[in-house]
Amino acid sequence: MEEVIDLFGDFDDNEDNIIPKNENYYIAETLKLIKDTNEYPLYIYCMLKTLLQKKDLLNDNQKKELCDLLGIKPVIKEVIKIKERIVYKERKPKANNYDDY
């Protein structure tokens, strides 16, 4: 048996060490996971939910891009502020009825 192993080399699964783990690797792995789930919505939902738990690691631009992809719009609340102005009546000057002398 050892002679056969020597002839064909190791059968260890070291193929993962050969593949560089960059952006394309992770995209391919994600697409493979989606394909394995048969595009079942609950599994995809669980994967997204798990991934989005680490959203604190993303910067604002990445978060904004994800919001655009998911179709999340900011909630706009309309606030109406009414400012009342105090209007003074125009008063006529009073005549000095008192004797100043």
Cβ atoms 72, 86 nearer than 8 A? no
How far is CA 62 from each of CA 42, 75, 80, rounded to the nearest angstrom? 24, 19, 33
Q: Which residue has the tokens 């599994």?
A: 43
- Can you give the pLDDT at residue 61? 93
- Can you give the pLDDT at residue 84? 83
Give the residue extent of every domain in the chain.
Answer: 2-70
- Can you give the pLDDT at residue 6? 61
Q: Which residues of the chain have pLDDT under 50?
A: none
- Can you give the pLDDT at residue 21? 84
